Amino acid sequence: MGLKCVTGATLVVSSDQIGRRRTNKERPRDEPAVRIIAVFLDESVAALREAFGEPEQQLSVRRQADAAIRYGSSSVRATVKDHQGDMRGEGVRRMQTGLSNGNKHPLHTYAHKKGSGWERDRTYAADVVLNCSKLSWLEGHVAPRLARYRLETRKAVGLPGLAHALGDAMSAPAYFISRGYGSPMHLDKTASCFPEAILWVKGKHNFEWQFAVPTASVVFSLNRAWPCFCLLQAADVLHGTLHTPGRAHDGVGLAAVSRDLLSSAKARAEVNRR
């Protein structure tokens, strides 16, 4: 199967209703015949340049990744077969939705290593707040209604923002950051309610590195387009992050994460009960 390598801003649409329903059995029968499944932006887009185009801005993202790997208690996908590199999370991981948990807090957050001193690292805190706020702003610029839906769902469920003082500046309850990441082709079933919003910036080395959407016969060339950004219907669309075999690229990705478990009726009921 031949895949077209894309480096510029691209809109990917699908007219395969039958294929989408087979991929995700929960899709409504009356969904539109033509559906946007991905949006890819490269450095030619002014909003992306404004948010992450300067070297100092990209340095902040790489610095955040370095610190997250130092402080994070474990890699998010460390036990998933064939995934490579490091991925760490900040914010709410999931809700404690069971009613038999006694006095446990209803939120599970991504943990940090005990004694690592992460809470005293002001540079790390500043990088997290700055970059996650800008990623939320960028998503809002590209897809305003989606960004508002992500924010209002987080607030309606009762989830806190990543930085309380900034209020609505960070729309997602959690953010993932990765370095040197690679994965097989997969679907993210926990992303069925919200598309993935992903930013990529270059590392110190310029190895080949692509984000593949084989059902659309395209691969986005990350190392030729960065900084770059993608909105993807990750629960419906097969995708994966590729790189040159035998070469460990050190590119960095930052993603806004709103898992479908956080918007379930059971989760909302649990928050209201507490």
Q: For each of the chain's 274 residues, which pLDDT tens digit applies?
A: 577 888 888 888 766 555 555 555 555 555 666 667 788 898 899 999 999 999 999 999 999 999 998 888 766 655 556 777 888 888 877 654 433 333 444 566 777 888 888 888 899 989 998 999 999 999 999 988 888 888 887 777 667 677 666 666 777 888 899 988 888 888 887 666 778 899 999 887 777 788 888 877 888 888 887 899 998 888 778 888 886 666 667 889 999 888 766 555 655 555 455 4
Give residue 104's Cα distance to chain centre. 28
The structure's pTM equals 0.82
Token pair of 99 as six digits: 């009613």
Ordered by start, the domain boundaries in the chain are 1-40, 45-181+200-214+241-274
Alpha helix segments (H runs only) across the chain = 17-23, 46-52, 55-71, 122-142, 144-157, 222-225, 265-273
**Residue 116 one-letter amino acid:** S
Cα separation, 4 vs 15, in Å, equals 19
**Phi, psi at residue 190, to the nearest 5°?**
-75, -5
